[in-house]
Amino acid sequence: MAKGRVTRDDWTMAALRALARGGVGAVAVDVLAKELAVTRGSFYWHFKNREALLVAALETWERLATGEVIRAIAAEPDPMQRARALFAEALGAEEVAGLEPAIVAQVDHPAVAEVLHRVTRTRLAFLAEIFGDLGLAPADARRRAVAAYSAYLGWIELRRAAPEAAPETAVEGPGAAEALTHLVDLLTAGITAAE
């Protein structure tokens, strides 16, 4: 990034990239200031302390990767298309590669735990709503939501940790589109959209 005015969003996105690279410990003000090509004073213009930056970054992740995704997907009137669109979006290109597994791995940090638990509850509720709209009873919709979310977490962890062993989890490349379609078919197997 070129020198100049750095916004609060620039700091939070830099913090998210650092979190993806090395966990909470990598969110270091001096390192981020160097990455952003600004002085440490720029940080204090936007944040009281490092913890405030971490919380702001996690809340940005929550807004972008959960709130905005749900708002966009919820606009789709057809429940099966909504389910397919959600899985395609969730398993598609990541704004910050490896961020989700890095956040999950840091759940012992209080700020991370609070946001991660809230995001997980919100995502599971939305998935259960989708499966309910597809005609599943509430308990079955909840179980399918948990299974789908578990598949999502495993998919992105494989993409991050073992891309050579599971190249199908890549966003693009040989077999990626077919593998994603197959996963969506598995997650929606046996469901016929409610009329």
Model confidence at 3: pLDDT above 60: no
pLDDT at residue 195 in the model = 43
Which domains are present in the chain?
8-187 (1.10.357.10)
pLDDT at residue 122 in the model = 98
Taking the chain, what is the end-to-end CA distance rounded to the nearest angstrom? 51
Q: What is the mean pLDDT of the chain?
A: 92
Higher per-residue pLDDT: 184 or 138: 138
Q: What's the pTM?
A: 0.91
Give the total residue count for the chain. Answer: 195
CB distance 192 to 186 below 8 Å: no
Which residues neighbour 163 within 8 Å (Cβ) at sequence distance 6 or greater? 169, 170
The model's confidence at residue 108, banded by pLDDT at 50, 70 and 90, is: very high
Mean pLDDT of 106-119: 97
Higher per-residue pLDDT: 1 or 28: 28
pLDDT at residue 4 in the model = 60
Give CA–CA dist 40/27, Å, rounded: 13
pLDDT digits (tens, 9 = 90+) for 19-74: 999 999 999 999 999 999 999 999 999 999 999 999 999 999 999 999 999 999 99
What are 19-22's contacts with CB under 8 Å, separation 24+? 19/54, 19/57, 19/99, 19/102, 19/103, 19/106, 20/96, 20/97, 20/98, 20/99, 20/102, 21/98, 21/102, 22/102
CB distance 128 to 141 below 8 Å: yes
Model confidence at 1: pLDDT above 50: no
pLDDT digits (tens, 9 = 90+) for 116-156: 999 999 999 999 999 999 999 999 999 999 999 999 999 99
3-state secondary structure of 141: helix
What value does the CA radius of gyration of the chain take, rounded to a whole number of Å? 19
